[in-house]
Amino acid sequence: MAVTTWTDGAGDGNWNTVGNWDTGAVPVDNDDVIISRGTRAILLGLNQSGINLNSLTITPGFKGASIGDETTSLQINTNGAGGTNTLSCEM
């Protein structure tokens, strides 16, 4: 488990580009993901089926218009675990 922060360092708006993450790696299962900056929408690469993040935090510093495209969506799945799942979007 790692804390992974979106940097948009590669400048392509692609979730799957390692240069867009401060760890130099695309988030994997159980990571805590923070999207806190950038003006470009994250439109590509959200096709990591089966990835289960520990948390996803989107702060006001992210000015992108959207996360996802017309064929992809962000889903939160409780998997019947009985725990709490949180999508944090600070406005």
Higher pLDDT residue, 2 or 59? 2
Q: Are 28 and 11 a contacting pair, CB within 8 Å?
A: no
78 pLDDT band (50/70/90 cuts)?
very low
User: Residue 91: its pLDDT value, please?
Assistant: 45
CA distance linking residue 27 with residue 53, whole number of Å: 8
29: amino acid identity, one letter = D
Q: Is 41:67 a contact under the CB 8 Å cutoff?
A: yes
From the list 62, 9, 56, the residue with the least C-alpha distance to 29 is 56
Chain segment 10-67, per-residue pLDDT in tens: 988 888 889 999 999 988 888 988 888 777 777 666 656 667 788 888 777 777 766 6
